[in-house]
Amino acid sequence: MNRFARDTTTVTVKELRQLIRDPLSLALTIMFPILLIQIFVVIVTAFSAPSYSIAVVVSDLDGSSTSKNLVDKLTSSRLIKVTQFFQTEEQALHAVESGAATGAVIIPKGFGDALLSNRQAFVILQTDNSKITSSALVQSAVSSSTQSLLELVSARLGPAPVEVILRPISGRPPTGDTFLPGMLGMITILGAFDDIVNAITRERERGTFPRLVLTPTSILSIYSGKISATVVLNAIRTTLMLAIFVLTGLVIRGNVLLVYLATTLIAVFTMSLGLMLSTKIRSSATLTILEIAITFPLFQLAGAIQAPELLASGGRALAAMLPWTYGNDAIRRVIYLGVGLDAISIDLLVLLLGSLVLLPIATLLSKRTM
């Protein structure tokens, strides 16, 4: 074992032993973010937008003037944004399954003739129900558009029925809590922030951090050891939350190991950011306040309570710049849709790259502020 790995392992063991010596502190370290999230989840903040641009794709297999009227009404909706048109139903459905769109509208061949002949007509709507609220808004937009078309046709030819056939893809049970995966992501973030307070700032206040730095152990090994300890604690928190999910009836369709991988990368990124902040913030109270201040907007921006697609344009742009958003998206898609590693690789890569950028910066800043 090379020196770096040996030093990292030593610091990791030291961190865990230090926590074990104080059982109450260990219990609070693990349970604090879970308890705090219960308080925060009842607080509603105002990030909602007056109109939305939820991505929807359309496959018009009919090509009649009537179906084109329906497409025009869909494109003019304030709730959705038609991002692509496909020639086949399979292409449209794949766009939803891959996460490129929240909904797919398929207008079958013969739609226009059936409507104009006063026979039963229908459209197919497939939605990604892992997206909180946005899938319901897509359904509302499609229903409103078909109703508007129906009124237009009925004024000329009399009543003509149109049915919207729903094909939601989701592992979420009908009575399941839509916020549970988002809560897991936020608990991971809160837990990592709290670990920062314990790992660096409070150690500075106790006077033990300067002595640790004066040992032959490199600062990178110290930080790596503290991150490794957070990974262990995060695995315990994730296990507790997954047990709660199962007890509340949530179906986890994907590989559970991918959930652990996503929460681990969220924790590592948060810890890397916290290490960088701790080089400038020496007070544990100040860092705790900053942790809470960051957490409040993350409930909306990172997709814990509602999908980022429902934010105002500025909020959507900000959410797209936050690696936590991609982590929450990965958790939801694994739990609800059962996707594999290939489908969430970009999300995980964003978190990994963010950590690889922040950790060297934290190491460099720590050397300058010793």
Range of the structural domain that residue 320 is part of: 3-41+179-368
* End-to-end CA, the chain: 29
Q: What is the predicted pLDDT for the residue at 85? A: 93
Instruction: Walk along the chain (370 residues) in steps of 10 and give the mean pLDDT of each run.
Output: 81 79 67 63 47 85 89 88 90 84 90 81 84 79 85 62 74 53 82 77 73 78 86 91 83 90 94 83 71 75 76 79 91 86 93 92 72
Q: What is the predicted pLDDT for the residue at 39? A: 54
Regarding whether 119 and 21 lie in a shared domain, the answer is: no
Q: What is the predicted pLDDT for the residue at 157? A: 53
Specify if 47 maps to a domain. no
Q: Which one of 166, 199, 219 terminates a domain?
A: 166
Regarding whether 123 and 195 lie in a shared domain, the answer is: no
Please, which residues bridge with residue 312 across strands? none
Tally of structural domains, the chain = 2
Specify if 144 maps to a domain. yes
Regarding whether 348 and 200 lie in a shared domain, the answer is: yes
Specify if 172 maps to a domain. no
Q: Which one of 113, 138, 166 terminates a domain?
A: 166
Regarding whether 312 and 267 lie in a shared domain, the answer is: yes
Per cent of the chain over pLDDT 90 is 18
Positive or negative CA dihedral for 249, 254, 255, 257?
Answer: negative
Averaged pLDDT of the chain: 80
Regarding whether 138 and 90 lie in a shared domain, the answer is: yes
Which pLDDT tens digit goes with each residue over 300-316? 788 777 777 777 777 77
Q: What is the predicted pLDDT for the residue at 238? A: 92
The rounded radius of gyration (Å) of the Cα atoms in the chain is: 25
pTM: 0.69
Q: What is the predicted pLDDT for the residue at 357? A: 93
Specify if 48 maps to a domain. no
Regarding whether 280 and 301 lie in a shared domain, the answer is: yes
Regarding whether 79 and 32 lie in a shared domain, the answer is: no
The CATH number given to whatever domain includes residue 129 is 3.40.1710.10
Regarding whether 251 and 129 lie in a shared domain, the answer is: no
Specify if 124 maps to a domain. yes
Q: Are 141 and 74 in contact (CB under 8 A)?
A: yes
Regarding whether 59 and 202 lie in a shared domain, the answer is: no
Tokens representing residue 52 in the block: 């939305």
Pairing of strands 121-127, 103-107: antiparallel
CA angle 240, 244, 248 (to 5 degrees): 170
Q: Are 107 and 123 in contact (CB under 8 A)?
A: yes
Q: What is the predicted pLDDT for the residue at 350? A: 96
Q: What is the predicted pLDDT for the residue at 348? A: 95
CA-based nearest residue to 366, from 267, 206, 188, 226: 226
Which pLDDT tens digit goes with each residue over 168-205? 776 555 444 556 677 888 888 888 888 777 777 777 77
Specify if 101 maps to a domain. yes
Collapsing DSSP to helix, strand or coil, 36 comes out as helix
Regarding whether 183 and 246 lie in a shared domain, the answer is: yes
Q: What is the predicted pLDDT for the residue at 29? A: 67
Q: What is the predicted pLDDT for the residue at 105? A: 93
Specify if 46 maps to a domain. no
Regarding whether 332 and 184 lie in a shared domain, the answer is: yes
Specify if 49 maps to a domain. no
Regarding whether 335 and 270 lie in a shared domain, the answer is: yes
